[in-house]
Structure 1
Amino acid sequence: MASDLPETMRCVTSPEPGRLELVERPLPQPGPGELLVRVAAAGVNRPDLLQVKGVYPPPEGASDVLGLELAGEVVAAGEGCDTPLGARVCGLVAGGAYAEYCLLPEGTALPVPETLRMEEAAAMPETLFTVWTNLFERGFAAEGDIALVHGGTSGIGTMAIKLCRLFGVTIIVTCGSEEKVEAALDAGAHAAINYNTEDFVDRVKDITEGRGVDIVLDMVGGDYVARNISCMADEGRHVSIAFQRGAEASISIVQIMRRRLTLTGSTLRARSLRFKTMVADELRAHVWNFVEGGRLRPVMDERFPLSDVEAAHARMAAGEHVGKIVLEP
């Protein structure tokens, strides 16, 4: 550890459901394979809000400090690390990013090119890992496919739009207002549907001329699952990543059999470091060149100081944001 580092840091915890608290903690010490990063910015994600509600606790062994993604400067490194001090990195963590300093596994760290501002870099890992593993790996999205993604102006939705554009996938999204429809189209969606004024099943059939979509990326769950299936083409893939309208659904098994559909899904936070490192390797190989070339950057919403974390969470909870919200220590 460098001698000029402080002994303590400010960070955000949730000591009981519904409460956020800015506290002072000892500076964490990097172990083997870990980087200590001075945090420039941390992304805000919906799982953070669920953790505060008390329904999404950190995995065993993870920090109780909130936050799943960050960007900053490496100020110390544990045994076996090759990343030099002073390097600009961003990365995925199982907790700890809402802080002035955070431990980042070197395996999930990605270099921040000069083409990217730190707050943009902090807004990428969670959505990039999620969209890549679910839309492109589990959903097998490929050039020429058509995808339907709900929550088109969320962090996940806007990242899905960007990646689909880069990889030749036609993307249809749903949004909750005409303003968000326009924002999704501005971000690059091929089509956007206002689910409050239109039936998205009928609109998808119109847009695809009755063909249906090859992949659905669903974060809604509940009654949406059966409706999603109605939107799918034969051999279609349905990938669940959240269930905001409920964890149970009633569907027709006959439809799955007759049309040879695949229903799958995943979570990310509790997956092993080995898995997350593998995903980071794939992103370096297939995606990060677009970041370095300035062709892939996140859609940004608002920036808040770490001390104003409650306002940041309130904005996300209200659903008013377009793209990513970040905190800056």
Structure 2
Amino acid sequence: MQAEGGVLSWRTEPAVALQPGQVRVRVKAAGINRADLLQKAGHYPPPPGTTDILGLECAGEVIETAGQTRWRVGDRVCALLAGGGMADEVVVDARHLLPVPRDMAWEDAAAIPEVFSTAWLNVFELGAAQPGEKVLIHAGASGVGTAAIQLCKAFGNPCWVSLGSQEKLETCQALGAEGGVLRHDGIATLKDFGPFNVALDPVGANYAPEHLDLLAQDGRWVLIGLMGGRNAELDLAKVLVKRLQLTGSTLRTRSADFKAGLLARMEEKLWPLFESGQLKPLVARTYTFDQAEEAFAELARDQVVGKIVLVNN
């Protein structure tokens, strides 16, 4: 599936030959992310050398391998991708696959790789959240947000959210958030719950000045998106006095080795929690591949809590 002029289209291509260390996966389901929305609109081209087929995560069955790999034909896997997941087949670095947790449905497995890796990387590795530290999660009802809430609960970090509706706030509290604010009321009142040690921020400019007041001494502000704009005026004296750290973070353009290491650490630390049911991807709605335009429109409306997933029928 590709996007041409903002319209999705299907095309048939010859199968890609495997290189040593690669695996071919028959795609059963693929998650949709905001990066896919941006690429569809022509605002987020894939990294150089990456397919222009949409899809940053999928789940499916191994149908071919090349070289030395842990995977065997028939294995159920989920994949972190730079692109290509919205297709019948995808070729992927074997190190970028993880086993589908026991008894998990394809659509749930397809909702794990991108959002849980983003949440884990930015809150717990780059954000260095320690047990007991407070975490602020913007867009808390998104796929990344709902993953981050569950991770915070699992690792002993009280968290608060900003989001768009009371219904979304109640769902996030049921997942484990302590509380939060509605974005149309502004985020300044979050100060009542702070100060926060880590902020996970996909918004950017609109919220930037408030972070300087919301963050604790030595606070870590991890910027992962610019939904609220790219230009902001900051009082740098507050950054200096509080010793704040601002880290910009993107995952799609990271090296293959970096992603392999990240996924290996996630398998060690998180997969037991998926197996036990303590962590679970939150799938709001599924569509078939043929309903992709409807699925993208649903995500653009920003009314769902969690992930929208395409199922390959």
User: TM class, shorter-chain normalised?
Assistant: over 0.9
Letter in 1 for 2:170: E
Q: Deviations over 1:231-255 (max 9, x none)?
A: 1111111000001111122111100
Tell me what 2:204 maps to: 221
1:200 aligns with 2:187: yes
Q: Determine if contact 2:163/2:183 at 8 Å carries over to the other structure.
A: yes
Q: Determine if contact 1:138/1:265 at 8 Å carries over to the other structure.
A: no
Letter in 2 for 1:200: I
- Where 2:147 maps in the other structure, the secondary structure is helix
Q: Determine if contact 2:150/2:279 at 8 Å carries over to the other structure.
A: yes
- Where 2:11 maps in the other structure, the secondary structure is strand
Displacement after TM superposition at 1:199 (Å):
3.2
Tell me what 1:63 maps to: 51
Matched length: 312
Letter in 2 for 1:207: F
- Quote the Cα distance in structure 2 between the aligned partners of 1:104 and 1:326: 20
TM-score in terms of structure 2 length: 0.97
Tell me what 1:296 maps to: 279
Displacement after TM superposition at 1:276 (Å):
0.2
1:267 aligns with 2:253: no
- Quote the Cα distance in structure 2 between the aligned partners of 1:76 and 1:315: 34
RMSD between superposed Cα atoms in Å: 1.1
Q: Which residues in structure 2 correspond to 1:167-206 (within 5 Å)?
A: 167-196=155-184, 198-202=185-189, 204-206=190-192
Displacement after TM superposition at 1:205 (Å):
2.0
1:87 aligns with 2:75: yes
Displacement after TM superposition at 1:58 (Å):
0.8
Displacement after TM superposition at 1:167 (Å):
0.3
Tell me what 1:162 maps to: 150
Choose which of 247, 263, 284 in structure 1 pairs with 2:267: 284
Q: Determine if contact 1:151/1:174 at 8 Å carries over to the other structure.
A: yes
Letter in 2 for 1:134: N
Q: Determine if contact 2:187/2:207 at 8 Å carries over to the other structure.
A: no
Q: Deviations over 1:95-122 (max 9, x none)?
A: 1000111112111110112232111110
Tell me what 2:233 maps to: 250
Tell me what 2:308 maps to: 325
Q: Determine if contact 1:187/1:299 at 8 Å carries over to the other structure.
A: no
Displacement after TM superposition at 1:127 (Å):
0.6
Q: Determine if contact 1:22/1:307 at 8 Å carries over to the other structure.
A: no
Letter in 2 for 1:23: R
Unaligned ranges ≥5, structure 1: 1-11
Letter in 1 for 2:2: T
Q: Determine if contact 1:35/1:103 at 8 Å carries over to the other structure.
A: yes
- Quote the Cα distance in structure 2 between the aligned partners of 1:244 and 1:144: 29
- Quote the Cα distance in structure 2 between the aligned partners of 1:199 and 1:64: 37
Q: Determine if contact 2:101/2:271 at 8 Å carries over to the other structure.
A: no
Displacement after TM superposition at 1:17 (Å):
3.0
After the TM superposition, list the runs of 4 or more consecutive aligned residues in structure 1 that deviate by more than 6 angstroms: none
Letter in 1 for 2:153: R
Q: Determine if contact 2:76/2:99 at 8 Å carries over to the other structure.
A: yes
Tell me what 1:21 maps to: 9
- Quote the Cα distance in structure 1 between the aligned partners of 2:118 and 2:111: 12
1:125 aligns with 2:113: yes
Q: Deviations over 1:174-221 (max 9, x none)?
A: 11111111121122211121122x33222x22224xxx1111100001
Displacement after TM superposition at 1:65 (Å):
0.8
- Quote the Cα distance in structure 2 between the aligned partners of 1:217 and 1:17: 32
1:39 aligns with 2:52: no
- Where 1:20 maps in the other structure, the secondary structure is strand
% same residue? 39
Displacement after TM superposition at 1:19 (Å):
1.6
Letter in 1 for 2:107: E
Displacement after TM superposition at 1:26 (Å):
2.1
Q: Determine if contact 2:111/2:281 at 8 Å carries over to the other structure.
A: yes
Tell me what 2:104 maps to: 116
- Where 2:84 maps in the other structure, the secondary structure is coil
Q: Determine if contact 1:229/1:238 at 8 Å carries over to the other structure.
A: no
Letter in 2 for 1:219: P
Tell me what 1:105 maps to: 93
Unaligned ranges ≥5, structure 2: none
